[in-house]
Structure 1
Amino acid sequence: MNPAITPLAERMRPRNLDNVIGQQKLIGPKGPLRRAVESNRLPSMIFWGPPGVGKTTLAQLVAEGTKRPFVSLSAISAGVKDIRDVLNRPSGLFPPVVFIDEIHRFNKGQQDALLGAVEKGQITLIGATTENPSFEVNSALLSRCQVYILESLGRDELVQLVNRALEQDTYLSQKKIRMESYDALLRLSGGDGRKLLNLLELVATSHVSADELVITDDLVTEVAQQNIARYDKSGEQHYDIISAFIKSLRGSDPNAALYWMARMINAGEDPEFIARRMLILASEDIGNANPTALIMAQNAMQAVRMIGYPESRIILSQVAVYLATSSKSNASYVAINEAMALAEKTSHLPVPLHLRNAPTKLMKQIGYGDNYQYAHDFAGNFVQQNFMPEELKGHKLYEPGQNAREAEIRKNLQKWWGEWYEY
């Protein structure tokens, strides 16, 4: 490889599983991917994880480790014809590994074109996605694939990437480079290994005449600011821009929200991605302060699927303004997180007898359902009865937010449960 034209991240791509940094749950001695390679029994699979954690690398190494042909397609540019061309190629002893980057961008027709080949074993599909495959991959195709979640690289792993590049890369190892601090490199790359290495190379080549280059946080920040990459859907500012958009909505600033949305629209971002993130925000950050927000966001999601660009920008704009200017509450979001943490710690607690179902005579005889009070039989359709395990009676999880609608909810809870839950 010519270092003058080949990016550092590509030059440092691992050549075998032992050289991969991170993802040890998958490729460690007992990891499922390593076992699959060693046994030469590859299922079709989906790699789900953030950018720069090794999805493409693992796909290539899995194919090489099992001596199978490797075909790579990008869902951004490939169509049904490209898929059929791959399927019509003659294969050897083992079916080829067909790697599809950003498989979540394939529409239903493109995914359906893969389904038959996967079912018949003509190919071993490996799809890579940064989006939840439950939402983005057809259920029929997803059911035939093993989903592997790739984790973000930790600080120690990212530092190891930098040090390996400085020691082993043909170009960088010839330069006198000393790391004074890694903080800015790690912060600006956001856990993306590819972005980290390319930023390192950018800094290392910015002072070609220096006898020794000392990489400091100030130097990294200066070089990065001079070479800000424009937004692109494959990674560089994708997560920064969507983060700014969501934070603007949460912060009730419709002007900033529209600006960041326009940046995404101009870059050709998938309108469903924008709509889906607003749908999540409508529940997480608005919730019961304005339940209509969730309905608006859900309808927007359906509408953009039918319409697409350019007209869907109007719908996205309307809903973004509505969400930004709506009352906010994360009370339900906080409550479910606390409830899940509590449930994990107390999963041994039994369901009280009066809450248990009693479909058989024996269950009724031993007290299942005894003393249960049916709320609709009481005035106001309310009965004050313990619905928690006895050990958790009075343990409050939901705290209404500070907004008009939840203030009314708080009044009702005080009337119904004030003695037990201290509302």
Structure 2
Amino acid sequence: MGDLFGATTAVQPLAARMRPRTLDEYAGQDHLLAPGRPLRQALEQGALHSMIFWGPPGVGKTTLARLLASLVDAHFVTLSAVLAGVKDIRAAVDEARQQQARSGRRTILFVDEVHRFNKAQQDAFLPYVEDGTLVFIGATTENPSFELNNALLSRARVYLLKSLDAQALSTLLQRALTDPERGLGELQLSIEPAAQQMLLEAADGDGRRLLNLLETAADLLQPGDCLGVALLAELLGEGRRRFDKGGEAFYDQMSALHKSVRGSNPDATLYWFARMLDGGCDPLYIARRVVRMASEDVGNADPRALTLALNAWDVQERLGSPEGELAIAQALVYLACAPKSNAVYMAFKAAMRDVAEQPSHEPPLHLRNAPTKLMKELGYSQGYRYAHDKPEAYAAGEDYFPEQLEPRQYYQPVPRGLELKIAQKLEHLRVLDAASSNQRRSSP
């Protein structure tokens, strides 16, 4: 039996056989395809435009592109950016021109994993998108803002596809179990409620993964059997949830972890830490980022945070799992509960900005060492006041900035934690500076 796109279903996996044939059969993405939504209205009116589908694996990007081609009766050409090159793009352009000449049909060029194309490859089909030879649809799991060039983004509208929710996955599951032509309906299988919940959780928003797991389980059952928790648990083993160690999901979860620490929420901090470990993230990478959090978000409000973060990193390197992961968890919880200050972080950025924008000012002579006779004759170190010889070990009124630069106050301690005391100390020193300045002005 042939499916919508002309392929035989005898040897196709269940996920391929169950591809929806109409928009009404399409599960999920209601924010784009529900009746009355702009994308659906445009498609039903045949107003096709170039677009990019951005979303995680298994949410129907390729399926949606094929459905669109069917809706508008367009010729469909598909390329994988993993394997294709400029030569393949040119061949697709020639095929599109032949279709236009023979039948007047438009051609949709669908590029899967389009983020893997380099700039030259992305530029190769732009003229043909511009002149209408091709309608371009790209699919990507990565953020288009980072992975696609601006010329391509300006010619295509980006649509965000979301992970399938429990309702959409349940719909897919029931169709697959009951459809006698394309699904497993002839087997008359059933599934325990607890096993169904386990299956939905294991799919983790990925419809293809759901159907692949169901098909694998069905291969081990007899007609009329019930899929139970024991068999499903054996099949799932220790399968991990979706986590791309170098992609969008990785950085999203790392961002969520960091912001949970910054937001003083230890519980959310532990959740995102566990998610990243569950997904296979290297604990040493997290340990390194924890050190960054200690300096950036806690700083001198509690300097012990940096020590604890470094200790956790050391434990992970010395002992590995699970002792190291527990030490990192301890450091993360401490950071989340600690008083927060980004004063050092902001002061450092301000100082770096001044250095980048200012000329390379020389240190003033009184701050330079004078190890030789010539340097002393040139005035090096002359007038330097040794702080330890002064009251409170402070040379009040001394200027340590270059002569061409007005003194700055980069560091602004926050009224939290140890920085309360630091702020009081700095204010006291400023009073001493002011008194010294007044004394110099009043001296004859």
Q: TM-score, normalised by structure 1?
A: 0.59
Which of 98, 118, 123 is 2:129 aligned to?
A: 118
Instruction: Give the match's secondary structure for 1:52.
Output: coil
One-letter code of the match for 2:18?
M
Q: What CA deviation, in whole Å up to 9, does each residue of 1:106-151 have, x standing for no partner?
A: 1111101122212222211000011110001101111111000111
One-letter code of the match for 2:165?
G
Which of 94, 106, 129 is 1:88 aligned to?
A: 94
Instruction: Name the CA distance, whole Å, in 2 between partners of 1:60 and 1:121.
Output: 19
Compare 100-109 and 118-127 and name the one that shifted more.
Answer: 118-127
Instruction: Name the CA distance, whole Å, in 1 between partners of 2:33 and 2:58.
Output: 17
8 Å Cα contact 1:244/1:260 also seen in 2: no
Which of 283, 289, 294 is 1:289 aligned to?
A: 294
8 Å Cα contact 1:76/1:105 also seen in 2: yes
One-letter code of the match for 1:156?
Q
1:180 CA drift (Å): 0.7
Q: What CA deviation, in whole Å up to 9, does each residue of 1:77-114 have, x standing for no partner?
A: 11111001111222323431100001011111110112
Which of 20, 25, 37 is 2:31 aligned to?
A: 25
Once the two structures are superposed, the pairs formed by residues 195-214 of structure 1 within 5 Å of their partners are 195-208=209-222, 211-214=223-226
Residues 415 and 143 of structure 1, relative CA distance in 2, 3 Å threshold = farther
Structure 2 gap segments, 5+ residues each: 2-7, 259-268, 297-324, 343-405, 427-444
Which of 216, 221, 234 is 1:222 aligned to?
A: 234
Which residue pairs with 1:145 in the alignment? 156
Residues 382 and 165 of structure 1, relative CA distance in 2, 3 Å threshold = closer
1:330 CA drift (Å): 7.0
Which residue pairs with 2:201 in the alignment? 187
Once the two structures are superposed, the pairs formed by residues 296-375 of structure 1 within 5 Å of their partners are none
Residues 285 and 151 of structure 1, relative CA distance in 2, 3 Å threshold = farther
Which residue pairs with 1:97 in the alignment? 108
Instruction: Name the CA distance, whole Å, in 1 between partners of 2:19 and 2:415.
Output: 49
1:32 CA drift (Å): 2.3
8 Å Cα contact 1:11/1:169 also seen in 2: no
8 Å Cα contact 2:177/2:190 also seen in 1: no
Residues 57 and 244 of structure 1, relative CA distance in 2, 3 Å threshold = closer
Instruction: Give the match's secondary structure for 2:190.
Output: strand
Instruction: Name the CA distance, whole Å, in 1 between partners of 2:412 and 2:419.
Output: 17
> Is residue 239 from structure 1 mapped to residue 243 from structure 2 by the alignment?
yes
1:191 CA drift (Å): 1.1
8 Å Cα contact 2:69/2:108 also seen in 1: yes
Which residue pairs with 1:172 in the alignment? 184
Residues 383 and 40 of structure 1, relative CA distance in 2, 3 Å threshold = same
Structure 1 gap segments, 5+ residues each: 229-235, 263-277, 292-323, 337-376, 385-397, 401-406, 417-423
Once the two structures are superposed, the pairs formed by residues 397-416 of structure 1 within 5 Å of their partners are none
Once the two structures are superposed, the pairs formed by residues 371-386 of structure 1 within 5 Å of their partners are 380=409
Instruction: Name the CA distance, whole Å, in 1 between partners of 2:418 and 2:174.
Output: 58
Residues 145 and 378 of structure 1, relative CA distance in 2, 3 Å threshold = same
1:12 CA drift (Å): 0.6
Alignment coverage as a number of residue pairs: 295
Residues 408 and 176 of structure 1, relative CA distance in 2, 3 Å threshold = same
8 Å Cα contact 2:178/2:188 also seen in 1: no
8 Å Cα contact 2:22/2:67 also seen in 1: yes
Residues 191 and 29 of structure 1, relative CA distance in 2, 3 Å threshold = same
Residues 32 and 244 of structure 1, relative CA distance in 2, 3 Å threshold = closer
> Is residue 79 from structure 1 mapped to residue 85 from structure 2 by the alignment?
yes
1:3 CA drift (Å): 5.5
8 Å Cα contact 1:165/1:172 also seen in 2: yes
Q: What CA deviation, in whole Å up to 9, does each residue of 1:333-383 have, x standing for no partner?
A: x999xxxxxxxxxxxxxxxxxxxxxxxxxxxxxxxxxxxxxxxx9995799
Which residue pairs with 1:68 in the alignment? 74
Instruction: Name the CA distance, whole Å, in 2 between partners of 1:8 and 1:193.
Output: 11
Instruction: Give the match's secondary structure for 1:50.
Output: coil
Instruction: Name the CA distance, whole Å, in 2 between partners of 1:96 and 1:121.
Output: 9
Instruction: Give the match's secondary structure for 1:88.
Output: helix
1:39 CA drift (Å): 2.1
Instruction: Give the match's secondary structure for 1:97.
Output: strand
Instruction: Name the CA distance, whole Å, in 2 between partners of 1:50 and 1:410.
Output: 46
Whose radius of gyration is greater, 1 or 2? 2
State the superposition RMSD in angstroms: 4.5
Which residue pairs with 1:356 in the alignment? none
Instruction: Give the match's secondary structure for 1:239.
Output: coil
Instruction: Give the match's secondary structure for 2:52.
Output: strand
One-letter code of the match for 2:89?
I
Instruction: Name the CA distance, whole Å, in 2 between partners of 1:107 and 1:330.
Output: 41
One-letter code of the match for 1:201?
E
Instruction: Name the CA distance, whole Å, in 1 between partners of 2:51 and 2:235.
Output: 39
Residues 147 and 413 of structure 1, relative CA distance in 2, 3 Å threshold = farther
8 Å Cα contact 1:155/1:186 also seen in 2: yes
1:49 CA drift (Å): 0.7
8 Å Cα contact 2:53/2:138 also seen in 1: yes
Instruction: Name the CA distance, whole Å, in 2 between partners of 1:414 and 1:222.
Output: 63
One-letter code of the match for 1:88?
D
Q: What CA deviation, in whole Å up to 9, does each residue of 1:196-216 have, x standing for no partner?
A: 0111011011123xx532112
1:21 CA drift (Å): 1.1
One-letter code of the match for 2:232?
V
Residues 383 and 39 of structure 1, relative CA distance in 2, 3 Å threshold = same
1:64 CA drift (Å): 0.9
Instruction: Name the CA distance, whole Å, in 1 between partners of 2:243 and 2:230.
Output: 23
Residues 382 and 133 of structure 1, relative CA distance in 2, 3 Å threshold = closer
Residues 185 and 412 of structure 1, relative CA distance in 2, 3 Å threshold = farther
8 Å Cα contact 1:44/1:145 also seen in 2: yes
Which of 36, 47, 58 is 1:52 aligned to?
A: 58
1:286 CA drift (Å): 5.2
